[in-house]
Structure 1
Amino acid sequence: MTEPAFLDAIRKSYDTVAEAYVELVVPPAGMDPLSRAMLAAFAELVRTADLGPVADLGCGPGRITAHLTALGLSAFGIDLSPKMVALARQAHPDLRFAVGSTTALDLSDGELGGILAWYSTHHTPPEHLPTVFAEFHRTLAPGGHLLLGSHIGNYEIRRPTEGYGGHPVSFESHLLPADRIAELLSAAGFHVTARLVQENEDRPGREGIAVVARKPRD
């Protein structure tokens, strides 16, 4: 199957900024309390259901993958950027990381008890999100849980020329309304169970959403 063209820009951009990303992005311990609480709630839901491991999709350097492990989950990471995966393996040699795309996951049907997609889908053009969310649904076991975090907006497209550390990037950010993200998840077969919209006091206009969704058992 031919890879969607937008993935190459994301891959090359995150390969370029990977080391600066590690330096500049706060680890889970430095996240805001609400984000940490959402991760903890997700971990409890997955532990209670006990349906399989968790895939951290768009895992970057693996910090949140390791955090999920510390919360009692069996977690592994997948990222589009080979450089990010190399840094994750270096920092967390006891965990499993692989290069892969959310548009075509190399995972079996119903293999996962949970999926974390933490701010890793907003670079995906909206017309490709149904494919991504269908892959989430396919690989989750019935009764499994998804936690998705994303920047939101009013259908804006942002095209930054510089990323972390001032390095050049060529990806786009697609900022959808919170309701539209929930609609797309529902259309993919998920039951949305919770939504948390957060204002960004430091960067007005850069609100975020955390969505908890479940794959129905029937």
Structure 2
Amino acid sequence: MTGHHDETGAAYDGVVELYAAMFANRLEEHPFARAVIGTFAELVRGTGSGNLRVADVGCGPGHLTAMLGELGLDASGFDLSPGMVDHARRAHPELRFDEARMEALPVGDGALGGVLAHYSMIHTPPGELPALLAEQVRVLAPGGLLLVSFFGTDGPEPVRFDHKVTPAYSWPVDRFAALLAGAGLVTVARLVHDPATERGFLDAHLLARRPEGAGQSQDSAR
């Protein structure tokens, strides 16, 4: 169960500076992604709970964590790559970054108003994705939001492909939305648009909410 985590972390450790240089201003070329992250931040701020604490899971060099901070949220970042975490800390010393797997976040039950997963779940094998999503639900407060972005495919099944860093998966959007529902989340918005890269997959964004009054059946002490 740990093999792909080790491989993914090592692969990203090997491309830290190149990756950071490529993606530091990447959202300037991606208006849809920029808009959906802005909407996510606005909705977290408007929940009425006052919980502005959010996590950028799979944060990489921390550029989106910083964006969330600029949008008025109390943002921190988590990544399984020590090299990425080190870079993020140096690039954004005002923010908190920690090494962690998305399946085991060092965050208390119901502590977060939101979780951002921007193309960071794509390396998780399909059979392990339900457990990963359950962890996001655990750390979300009732009413909290998860924004997950991924590569979408028109086919009926997830597709494994050779990502430039390490193998990844694209997903049928309805299948991914069903996984969110299975984890106890309610999808409130979806945005699917033509690709901005040569891979040919769709770019997909799903915004989901943990229902108010949701139980803590999957919770565990951290």
TM-score by length of 1: 0.91
The 3 A distance-change label for structure 1 pair 201 and 52 is closer
Provide the residue aligned with 2:191 in structure 1: 196
Q: Quick check: 1:13 aligned with 2:46?
A: no
The 3 A distance-change label for structure 1 pair 180 and 214 is same
Matched-pair identity in %: 43
The 3 A distance-change label for structure 1 pair 10 and 20 is same
SS at match of 2:124: coil
The 3 A distance-change label for structure 1 pair 32 and 109 is same
Provide the residue aligned with 1:61 in structure 2: 61
The 3 A distance-change label for structure 1 pair 204 and 96 is closer
- 5+ residue gaps in structure 2? 214-222
After superposing on structure 2, the runs of 4+ consecutive aligned residues of structure 1 that deviate more than 4 Å are none
AA aligned to 1:17 is V
Pick aligned residue for 1:207 from 187, 199, 202: 202
Structure 2 distance, partners of 1:64, 1:11, is 19
- Offset of 1:25 from its aligned partner? 2.0
Within-5 A mapping of 1:52-201: 52-153=52-153, 154=155, 155-160=158-163, 163=164, 169=165, 171-200=166-195
- Offset of 1:86 from its aligned partner? 0.4
- 1:20-75: CA deviations, max 9, x gaps? 10122252651422111101100011111222400000111111100111011110
The 3 A distance-change label for structure 1 pair 136 and 201 is closer
SS at match of 1:14: helix
- Measured on the aligned residues, the alpha-carbon RMSD in Å equals 1.4
SS at match of 1:23: helix
Structure 1 distance, partners of 2:68, 2:41, is 7
Structure 2 distance, partners of 1:72, 1:41, is 12
Structure 1 distance, partners of 2:24, 2:88, is 15
Pick aligned residue for 1:42 from 15, 40, 43: 40
Q: Confirm or deny: 8 A CA contact 1:53 1:113 kept in the other structure.
A: yes
SS at match of 1:205: coil
Structure 1 distance, partners of 2:196, 2:91, is 31
TM-score by length of 2: 0.89
Structure 2 distance, partners of 1:29, 1:23, is 13
Structure with more contact order per residue of length (Cα contacts < 8 Å, sep ≥ 6):
1
The 3 A distance-change label for structure 1 pair 110 and 81 is same
Structure 1 distance, partners of 2:54, 2:159, is 31
Structure 1 distance, partners of 2:210, 2:22, is 35
Aligned pairs, number? 208
Provide the residue aligned with 1:166 in structure 2: none
Structure 1 distance, partners of 2:110, 2:58, is 19
